[in-house]
Chain A
Amino acid sequence: MTTLSHAPTSTRPVPNPKRSLITRLNMGTGIIVGAIFCWGTYYAMRAGRDMTDTHNVNKVLLSSMLMWSFGFLVGIGALIGPFRWLIGKDLTAEEQLYLAGDGQGIKRYFKYCTDHKVVGIQYLVGVMTMLGVGGTMAMMIRTNLATPGSHLVTPNVYNSLVGLHGITMIIAMIIVATGPFGNYIMPIMIGARDMAFPRLNALSWWVLFTAIPVLCSAWFLGGIPTGWTAYAPLSDQAGPGMNAFLATIIIFALSTAVAGMNITTTVIAMRAKGMKWNRVPIFVVGATISVALAIPAFPTFMLAMIQTGMDRTIATGFYDANVGGSGWLYANLFWIMGHPEVYVILIPGVAALMEIAPVFVRKPLFSYNAAIAGFAGIAGLSVLVWAHHMYMSGWMPSLNGPFMITTEFISVPTGLLFLVLVGTLWRGRPWMKLPMLSVYAFLWNFLIGGVTGVYLSDVPADNYLHGSMFVTAHFHYTLMGAAFTGAMAGLVYWFPKMTGRMLNERAGYIAFWLIQIGFNVLFLGMFMAGAQGQPRRVADYAFVYEHSNMISTAGAYTVGIGMITLLWAVVHSWRNGKIAPMNPWGAKTLEWTVPYPVPLENFDVEPIITSDPYGYGKAAN
C-alpha cells in the first residue's frame, strides 16, 4: 500500500525537493497542457476529415474533450508517479512530503495535493460552485415556467437548461457529503493519518475538476436536448453538445470509481486501534455503504455513454432500432446506475443527520444496528429495483409486478432510518442549534418524499403519474429535501473543524427557514401541477396549470434568496467568523479531539478506541 511515511509531525523537516518538476506544476500548468492537448487533438483530427458528416464532428469533439482531461492530468503532475513506476522508481520521500502540501498556504489548494483535508476543501468549494450553477439554472427554469406562454428562453435553451440543471445537480449531490466530509472529516473520525491512497484521492478531485469545463462546453455546442437521462435514440439524434454530456459522464465515472475505492479501503483498513465495526461512527458507515454502492453503479452509466458515443461516432447502432438495436438497452443500463445512484446521494445525508442527532439530543443513537440494517437493506435492494422507471416504457410489462415488489420493500429499511431518528429524539431535550433543526426538516421532507414514492412504485398509480411533474416533485423531496438538508446540516456541524470558525448563526437561521419554507412551497406546487396532469420537462403548459406553476415559482425564488443568504453566511464566516473552540458541540467523535488547523497526518499519538462515540446520557429507567 502506498502511504506517506509516518514521521511525527513535530520533528519533520520542511520539504524542499529542489529541481523536481513536481514543485513547478499546478492547476495553471494543468490548464495550459490540457488546452494544448485539446486543441492539438481538435486540429489534428479535423485535418482531412469531412466535417459536414456529423459522425466526424462527434469523433473530433469527443476525442478533444477526453484529451483535455488527460492533458490536464499530465499538466498538473498526476501522472509523474505512475511514470516513475514505469521506469522502476517512485517519488522520493521528500517529493511525497511536498505533495502533502504542508506549509504551502493557499497555493496547495491549486496543486495536486495529497492531504485529505486539502482535497476535502477542494470538494467543498467545487460542490458549492456546482450547486450555485445548477441552482441558477433552476431559477431560469422556474422563471420561464412562471406563467403559461412565456418565451423567456427558446425551447432549445429550455431543454438544455433542464438537462444541464439535472446532471450538474446529480453530480453535485453525489459528492455533496462524501466529497467534503468524506475526505476531510472521515479519516479523522476513524483515527487515520490520511486516506489509504492519498495520490488517488487527489486524482479523484482533479479528474472531477476536468469534467466541469467539459460540461460547460455543452452550452457553446448547442446544448443538449435529452434531459439528464439522455435516452436513446434522442441522444443519437442530438447535436454536438451531446458529446460534452458523454465526455462528462465518462470522466465523472472514473472519478467516482477512484474515490469509491479509496474511501472503502480507508475505512476497511485504516481504522484506529480498537475501532471495531460496532464502534464506527454512523456517518462513516453511511458514507462507506454509499460509495461502495457507487462502485458497481457508475460503470454501467459509463458503458451506456460509451455505447452512445460509439453510436454517434462510428454508427454502431446499439440503441438504434432501425439497424436492430434497442432504446430499451440504454434505458436498462441507465437505470441500473440510476436507481442505486439516488441512494448513493441519500445515504450519506441521512448518515450525517444520524451523527448529528445524538450530539444535540445528548442521547445515544437509537438502535445503531437498525441504522446499519437500514443502510445495508437499502443498498442491497436498490440494485434490484431499476425497472420501476420503465413500467410505462413497454419493455417487459410482465416484470412490472416483480419490480413493484422489490421497490415497495425498500420502504422497510427506509422505515428503519426514520425509526433511528425518531427513537433518538424520543424523550430527549434537543439543543436547538442549526444542525439539529435540519433533523426535523429532514423528517418532514423525507416523509412526503417517501409516501409519494410509494404511489409511484405502484404500477396502476404510475399509469397516471409517470412522466408528470409529480415525479419531479417526488425526487426533489428526497434528493433536495432529504439529502441536501442532511448535507447542509453537515456543513454547519463540521464548519468549525474545516474552517476554524463558527458559521454565523443568525444568517444561518434565516437561510435555513427561507430554504425549507420555499422548498416546500415550490414542490407542493409541483405535486399539484403533476396531479393536475402537467408532463415534466415541458417548456410551456396549458392555462389550467397556471396557479400551481406560479406557486412553484414563488417558492423557487424564496429558496434562491435562502441559498444566497447561506452562501453569504459561509463566505463571511469563513473569513471573519467567531473563532471556534476545539469541540464546540461537545461531541464524542475523534475529529473533535484534534485542533484547528488540523496538523498534517492529524494525530501526534494514534488514538485507541474503547467504545462507540454515542456514550451520552444517564442510564435508562
Chain B
Amino acid sequence: MANHTEELLPPTPGQRVSKFLSRKDVRQTFILGAFFTLVFIILGVWIYPHWMPNVLSKEMQADEDIMIWFTVISAPIAGVILAIAMESFLNMHRGDTPPEDGIAIRTHTPVVIIWSSVSVLFIILALVWGMVSMNTDAVKAATDAPNALVVDVTGSQWAWSFNYPAQNITTHTLNLPVDRPVTFNIISADVNHSFWPVQLGVKVDANRLTTTVIHTTPDKIGVLDVKCAELCGLYHAYMETSGQVESTTDFNNWVSSIQAQGGTQ
C-alpha cells in the first residue's frame, strides 16, 4: 500500500519537472514520440503529392495542402499517443498469472487540462485554416464570375454532357482554356449524381430540377478526368469522361471544330 517515505515529492515545480524528465521511461517515451512524429511528418509530406493526381487548379492545390498540413500538425499528437502505447507495450508482462498491481494513478488534473487545451487549439487552427480557405475560394469565385467561362453540366444515367452557352456547343468531353475562370452550373436529368472533375479539386452533386454552381480556375495545362462521385445506379462506375485543360488557342480551335460539326460533338 501507500509508501510515501520511499519517494517524497520534490518541493518546487521546477524540481518536480526535472525529476520527471530524468526518469528512464519518460526519456524513452520522448525518444519514441519524436521518432513517430518524424515518421508521420515525412509520410504526410511525401504521400499525398505522390498519390494525388496532377494539380491543375488553385482549388486542387488548396485541397492537397490541407491534407499535407493537417497530417503534419497532428503528427505530434499521434506521436505522443503511439509513444506511450509503445513504451507500455515494450514493458509487457507475459505468463498465466496477472502481474503485480501498478501505481494507482486515478487522474492527473493538469494533464487532462493540457490535453484538452491542446486538442481545442489544434481544432481552432484547423477550423481557421478551413474557413480562410473556404473564404478565399468564395471571394475568388465572386470576383471572377463576370468574365468566367460558363459551362452547363448535365448528369444523366450514365453520362455527362456539357453545354457551353456562349459558344453554343454541346459536348461529351470537358475542354477548358487555361487561366480563365470557369463557372459550372450542374443539374441532373434523373437521379443524384456528383460532378467531379478530379484534377480541378472541386465537386458538387447534380440534383433533379435544382442547379448547383461551382467555380474554379484551371491554371495548368493537362488531362482532366471527369467522374461521378455519387452512386447513381447500374453503370455508376462507367459514368466518366475525360477532358483537357489547354491553351486559349487550342480551346478556340476545339470550339470552332465542334461548331463546324453543327455544335454537337
List which B186-215 residues lie within 8 A (CB) of chain A.
186, 190-192, 194, 196, 198, 201-205, 207-210, 212
Contact with B along A437-463 (1 / 0, CB 8 A): 000100110010001001100111101
How many residues of chain B get a CB closer than 8 Å to chain A's CBs? 95
Given contacts A429-B92, A617-B103, contact A537 B236 (CB under 8 A): yes
A415 in the interface (beta carbon within 8 A): yes
Instruction: Quote the shortest CB–CB distance from B111 to chain A (angstroms).
Output: 7
Produce 1/0 per residue, A416-450, CB < 8 A to B: 10110011011111111000000010011001000
Q: Is B46 an interface residue (CB 8 A)?
A: no
Inter-subunit contact A617/B101 (CB<8 Å): yes
Given contacts A363-B101, A428-B102, A440-B85, contact A423 B231 (CB under 8 A): no
Contact code string B107-133 (vs A, CB < 8 Å = 1, else 0): 110011001100110110011011101
Asked if A430 contacts B191 (CB within 8 A), the reply is no
Q: A233-B192, A364-B104 are in contact. Are A463 and B59 (CB under 8 A)?
A: yes
Residues A363 and B104 in contact, CB atoms below 8 Å apart: yes
Fill in one digit per residue for A379-400: 1 if any B CB lies within 8 Å of its CB, else 0: 0000000000000111000001
Does B1 interact with chain A (Cβ within 8 Å)? yes
> In the assembled complex, which residues on chain A have CB atoms less than 8 Å from the CB atom of B240?
542
Residue contact A415 to B115, C-beta cutoff 8 Å: yes
Q: Tell me which of A227, A328, A618 contacts B103 (CB under 8 A).
A: A618
Contact for B229 among A370, A429, A451, A468, CB less than 8 A: A468
- In chain A, positions 140-168 with a C-beta closer than 8 Å to chain B are 155-156, 158-159, 162
Pairs A–B under 8 Å by Cβ, sample size 24: A227-B231, A233-B190, A237-B191, A362-B100, A394-B205, A404-B127, A405-B127, A425-B85, A427-B25, A427-B103, A429-B91, A429-B100, A430-B93, A431-B94, A440-B89, A443-B82, A458-B66, A458-B129, A460-B62, A533-B227, A538-B237, A618-B1, A620-B104, A620-B106
Please name all residues of chain B whose beta carbon is closer than 8 Å to the beta carbon of A409 when the two chains form the complex.
123
Q: Which residues from A are CB-within-8-Å of B194?
A: 392, 466-467
Q: Which of B186, B190, B205, B232 has the most chain A CB within a 10 Å cutoff? A: B205
Per-residue CB contact flags for chain B residues 35-60 toward chain A (1 = under 8 Å, else 0) read: 00000000000011001110000011
Question: What 1/0 mask marks residues of chain B from 208 to 249 whose CB sits below 8 Å from any chain A CB?
Answer: 111010000000000001011111111111101000000000
Contact A620 B201 (CB under 8 A): no
Of listed B84, B134, B207, residue having the most chain A CB within 10 A = B84
Binds A, one of B2-10, B161-169, B255-263: B2-10
Once A451-B71, A463-B202, A531-B48 are accepted as A-B contacts, the answer to whether A363 and B116 lie under 8 Å apart by CB is no
**A residues adjacent to B (C-beta < 8 A):** 155-156, 158-159, 162, 225-227, 229, 231, 233-234, 237, 321-322, 327-328, 360-364, 366-370, 392-394, 400-401, 404-405, 408-409, 411-412, 415-416, 418-419, 422-423, 425-432, 440, 443-444, 447, 451, 454-455, 458-461, 463-468, 528, 531-533, 535-542, 544, 585-586, 615-621
Residues of B within 8 A of A425 (CB): 84-85, 88
Q: List, in ascending order, chain A residues with CB within 8 A of B228's CB.
A: 535
Residues of A within 8 Å of B82, CB to CB, are 443-444, 447
Beyond A408-B123, A460-B62, A535-B228: 9 further Cβ-contacts under 8 Å?
A: A237-B190, A237-B191, A321-B210, A361-B102, A408-B126, A458-B70, A533-B53, A535-B227, A542-B225
- B21 contacts partner chain A, Cβ-Cβ < 8 Å: no
